[in-house]
């Protein structure tokens, strides 16, 4: 009964144009010179269109991040591949953290802009919630006794945009990845009694 009429062709085209223009502006201009006026102009549409599609600045960046993260969330549930079901949870977690580090590397501006735009809603964003649930569940499988909900938030804190920017200011991404994995190893190490 959803029966929502499919998006009109021009609407779909504009949505894609807007998303693409936003991404373009994020990489070229510094992250936070991206006003919605600019986005609209770059996409070749009116400002009203941007707001009708995405509701608000927050919504725009949420949608863009969701698009970038879609592949990741999809791979998680697939049987094959280093992220998917079928491997031991520890391997899956490490692979997922690596994938997130990769995402951060490639889309740092987007992540930073997303956080800034979402503000207090960052933790309500479906993308974040999906990541958190996945990490939490894997941790529970690995070490049932842990405070997995909290520790999953802490692992994800390693991908807080501005922190990543600071930690990798020297360009040493491999070290950053090692640091993240190192923290996970500490949290999940076998414990005495």
Partner DNA sequence: GCAGAACCGGACCATCAGTCCGATTGCCTT
Partner DNA sequence: AAGGCAATCGGACTGATGGTCCGGTTCTGC
Q: Which residues bind DNA (CB under 7 A)?
A: 5-11, 13-14, 33, 35-38, 44-49, 51-53, 56-58
- Alpha helices per DSSP H over the chain: 9-28, 36-43, 47-54, 57-76, 89-106, 108-118, 126-142, 148-157, 161-167, 173-188
Q: Does 162 bind its own copies (CB under 8 A)?
A: yes
Q: Per CB under 8 A, which region of 4-12, 62-70, 77-85, 176-184 contacts its own copies?
A: 176-184
Distance CA 156, CA 53 (A): 29
Q: Which x/- pattern, by CB under 8 A, does the window 129-158 give for its own copies?
A: ------------------x--xx-xx--xx
**C-beta separation of 143 from 189 below 8 A:** no
Give the nearest distance from C-beta 81 to DNA in angstroms.
36
CB atoms within 10 A of CB 68: 18
Shortest Cβ 188–its own copies spacing (Å): 9
Question: 144 contacts which partner out of its own copies, DNA, none, CB within 5 to 8 A by kind?
Answer: none
Question: Applying CB under 8 A, what is the total number of residues that bind its own copies?
Answer: 28
Burial class (CB in 10 A: 0-12, 13-18, 19+), 121: exposed
Backbone torsions φ then ψ of 160, nearest 5 degrees: -60, 120
Binding site residues, its own copies, CB under 8 A: 32, 112, 116, 119-120, 122-123, 147, 150-151, 153-154, 157-158, 160, 162-163, 165-167, 178-179, 182-183, 186-187, 189, 191
């Amino acid at each position: 009964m959803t029966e929502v009429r499919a998006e009109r062709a021009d609407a779909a085209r504009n949505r894609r144009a807007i998303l693409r223009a936003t991404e373009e502006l994020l990489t070229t201009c510094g992250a936070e010179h991206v006003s919605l006026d600019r986005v609209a102009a770059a996409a070749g549409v009116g400002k009203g269109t941007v707001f009708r599609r995405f509701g608000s600045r927050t919504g725009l960046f949420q949608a863009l991040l969701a698009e970038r993260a879609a592949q990741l969330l999809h791979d998680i549930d697939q049987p094959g591949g280093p992220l998917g079901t079928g491997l031991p949870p520890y391997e899956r977690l490490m692979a997922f953290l690596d994938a997130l580090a990769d995402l951060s590397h490639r889309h740092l501006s987007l992540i930073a802009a997303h956080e800034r735009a979402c503000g207090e809603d960052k933790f309500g964003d479906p993308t974040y919630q999906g990541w958190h649930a996945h990490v939490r569940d894997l941790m529970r499988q690995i070490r049932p006794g842990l405070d997995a909900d909290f520790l999953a938030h802490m692992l994800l804190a390693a991908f807080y945009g501005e922190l990543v920017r600071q930690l990798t200011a020297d360009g040493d991404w491999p070290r950053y990845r090692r640091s993240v994995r190192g923290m996970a190893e500490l949290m999940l190490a076998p414990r005495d009694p």
